[in-house]
Amino acid sequence: MDFYKLFIDGEFVEARKGDSFTTYDPGTQQPLASVAQAGSQDVEAAIASARLAFDQGPWRKMKPEERAAKIYDFADQIVKVSGRIAMVESMDAGHVINLSKFWGTNGANLLRNLGQYAANQFPWEEEIPYSGNVGAPGRDFIRREALGVCVGIVPWNFPAMMAFWKIAHSIIMGNSIVLKPATQTPLTALIIAEAAQAAGIPRGVVNVVTGRGGEVGNLLCTHKDVDKISFTGSTSVGTNIMKMAADTAKRVTLELGGKSANIILDDANLDVAVDGAVFGTFLHQGQMCESGTRVLVPTRLYDEFMDKMKARTEKLRVGYQLSPDSHQGPLVSAKQLETVDGYVQLGRKEGAEVVTGGQRVEVPGFDQGFFYAPTVFGEVKNEMRIAQEEIFGPVVSVIKYDDEEEAVAIANDSIYGLGGGVFSSSNDRAERIAREMKTGTVWINNYHAFGDFCPFGGYKQSGFGREMGESGLSEFVQVKRLHVSSYAAVGASTAMSILSDDKKTPYVQYKSPTNIISGPGSLPAIYKEIVKLGCKRALILTDEGVRATGLPDRVKSALVDFCVGIYDKIEQDSSLETVDAATEYARSLGADAIVTVGGGSVIDTGKAVCVTLKNGGKCNEYIAMARLQEPQTPHISVPTTSGTGSEVTNVSVIKNKAVGRKVYILDPNIIPNAAILDPQFTVGLPHHMTVTTAMDAMTHSIEALTSTRSQPICDGQALQAIRLIGENLPKVVAEPANQEARGNLQLAATMAGWAFTVAQVGMAHAMAHTLGATHDLPHGLACGIMLPKVMRFNVKEAADKLVLAAQALGVNTAGMSNEEAALAAADAVEDLMKQVDHPLSLGPLGIPEENLQNLAMHAMGDAAMMFNARPVKSPEEVLAVYKQAF
């Protein structure tokens, strides 16, 4: 059994008295780990370490951008341990693995987003144009400064994510922190501390002490050297913390209990509303403070809604939390199980009707687990205790209402005000209702939708203060106003004249997206395009292989005197370091435009360079989704391969060597301004690059077609691209100088790019990204190998779309079932690959079979996996596909 130590002053140490306690798996009641139990001496040491780090250490004195650089390193280390966080959180806190697998990625993203925001957008200094005191002219501005030593107290329901919240807000703003996780679930906080240590966060900035709240928590909340307390937990404990903090006037942020209302309006799509109600209540066994545990339904729709909700709830699978098939795992403890069942019995006594559930669940093989059935109460009155008190379990009360006014009144008839929802087909109605709800967050046609830049916190007895976004970061700074007088002379301030007989004031102030140009010989159009963009100093980015062909020199000639140079140091699977080096070269030349001449790696590098060239800093600061607010440095793309689509897409895929992962800038503002598709630039392309890049485009097309985000417009683009590749790739292989066929391949790649910009890609790309990041396998080659295997994996969920793909590839599907035709599509792709001599398996390419398990784990975390037609439930499913490809 593992032993977890305290983390104090940058080191893992045992408790000074040698005490420890044991944590248990709530699904089995088996011991999970032994943990050091802090006493008062340990708490004093942690606070002293945090105080010294804040007062004398380097962290507070760093510039925000310097701190952010270390925060990015911290995020990278979190990514490295994200699999461990998922497993431990599941076993320690009862999260189903399909939920806990997100915490590492989400935590790293939180650190990166808030770190970048604090460094670049947070108003550390803010001008006050009008101070409100006309008698004291001068410059008035606000300076925001770190608070000091913060204490973060984390609940047992979301120990990892809450630890990320507390740590991120505190240290990003220059503070130090002592974190106390819940006694029941302390493990992931200590793993996060390991990541902080590995990232080189200075000693004392992050401390983690574990132990009983009565001894550890009380000392943390009353200690004179603590400046701020951030607590998430029950209202009763929160109000006690306020009392303890009052004697030393500590700043306090409290996120407390909830009994949130989820209002279903009479125009809502009931199926959507039922899904929202089930998700809003039963996620993580209902152990969520903002869960929509009061569902308000119009009286006339009540019976229909209850029938649907009963049926939907009874489809939920309760099981051991590490099983990928489980929708709900165990409650956290025997005490919580007893509490939940006690409320269910109380609801029965109060006269509510148990529509479904209402009892403990026995899971075969896990008889000792704290499993409880998802429970729906009907015929509930809002004054009943089950509708007023926080149960913190899988129990929902459905309440009738007659009109909107009554619904709002019921929703607001609570001591709490943390979350809430409204389901309606009318945004206008829903927003009107939402504005009247006295609660900190209202989701419309959704629930549990958090965002790093979206503030979260409560009204009434759900607490005060906010976490996340600028509002959350602002809770962790002091606000200082500075005034600099415009006139340093006697009588300059009229206020000073109060104490003077001379009322004269000697100071007087007066205030008076992508243009496609295609066809043989289309390169000269680049000259006009650069002029249209208002640019005069274009830098060509390319790679050494393309440079050797002389193609970049032809582009330079076409640009005449608008080209300031050629940079050819871009490698396959371009990295963060490559982008930064190219950006520095562009800055040294004063470049005001980027022209990319090459394949996907070159184009993606160009997109990232356009971002860093405009905004400053390094590429790692901009790895994010939809963060940019305006167009970036102008970019013209001249593709030199048979397919990438990157010339028209909104994504730049870059390799992070530090963690062995592909990372992304995904933003509409990075789409190139123009693309020149001149097939003369692909005539000399080697056979292997022709077929692998064309199969990259084929993968874009088929994955866009089958994506969970696909729609008719991108479907049309994808199908035309599939048809063009199927018809023209064999022609190009047979006749390498066939410019018409090569031009068609380029157009196919562009259409595929447009398609997946809208629809995204899926599992084949996730697996190819992983092969590229870990084994440097060219992306197009990896995509081609994985594509038919993934098509077969998706066959049931995407059969209708794969039938269309089969037809576009020339398959006669007459007489076939959808599933047969879908499988025929995969066969047709493999037949095409054989025809053009494209590799079909990984083994002959040197991929070690023993590495497949690791590849599967990495691929599970790739963002592209989210859009796959068939939900991927476990690394074992990915491993099976890798084995087929081996």
Angle, alpha carbons 454-460-463 (nearest 5°) = 55
Question: What distances in angstroms separate CA 215 from CA 209, 228, 644, one per listed residue?
Answer: 11, 18, 60
Contacts of 689 (CB under 8 A, 6+ apart): 599, 641, 642, 780
- Tokens in use for 558? 């076409």
Q: Residue written as tokens 């390094």?
A: 618
Which residues make beta-bridge pairs with 540?
A: 566, 595
Q: Which residues of 198-220 are buried (b: 16+ CB within 10 A; e: fewer)?
A: ebebbbbbbbbbbbeeeebbbbb
φ, ψ at 66 (rounded to 5°): -70, -45
DSSP string, 137-173: -EEEEEEEEE--EEEEE--SSSHHHHHHHHHHHHHHT
CB 856 within 8 A of CB 878: yes
Alpha helices in 760-866 (DSSP H): 763-775, 779-793, 799-808, 818-835, 852-860
Tokens standing for residue 25: 């798996």
Could you tell me where the beta strands, DSSP code E, fall in 352-402?
Answer: 353-356, 375-378, 395-401
Cβ–Cβ < 8 Å for 752, 760 = no
d(Cα 568, Cα 413) in Å, to the nearest integer? 66
Q: In terms of Cα–Cα distance, which of 124, 118, 144, 123 is closest to 65?
A: 118
Q: Which two tokens stand for residue 814?
A: 């007459």
Q: Which residues contact 383 (CB under 8 A, 6 or more apart)?
A: none
- 213-217-222-224 Cα dihedral, nearest 10 degrees: 150
- The answer to whether 531 and 578 are in contact (CB under 8 A) is no
Give the distance, in angstroms, between the CA of residue 813 and the centroid of all CA atoms in the same chain. 41
> Are 839 and 691 in contact, with CB atoms under 8 Å apart?
no
- Give the Cα separation of 597 and 550 in Å (integer): 11
Q: Measured between alpha carbons, how far is 573 from 576 in angstroms, rounded to an integer?
A: 10
The tokens describing 342, both together, are 């006690």
Active-site residue among 255, 290, 467, 529?
255
Which string of DSSP letters, residue by residue, matches 365-406?
TBTTS--B--EEEES--TTSHHHHS---SSEEEEEEESSHHH
Alpha helix (H) residue ranges in 208-289: 218-222, 235-246, 270-282
| 3-state SS class at 828 | helix
Instruction: Name the nearest CA neighbour of 282 among 268, 267, 262.
Output: 262
Element (H, E) at 781: helix 779-793
Residue 452: what are its φ and ψ, rounded to 5°?
Answer: -60, -30
Asked if 255 is an active-site residue, the reply is yes
Q: Tokens 């011991």 map to which residue?
A: 31
| Active-site residue (options: 289, 610, 714, 783) | 289
Residues in CB range of 311: below 8 A, 6 or more apart: none
Q: Residue 628: how many CB atoms within 10 A of its CB?
A: 18
Entry field: residues in the chain: 886
* Cα(584)–Cα(581) distance, integer angstroms: 5
C-alpha span between 857 and 171 (Å, rounded): 30
Place of tokens 């001249």: 638
755, with CB counted inside 10 A (0-12, 13-18, 19+), is buried
Beta bridge partners of 595: 540, 636
Look up residue 722 and give its DSSP letter.
Answer: H
Active-site positions read 255, 289
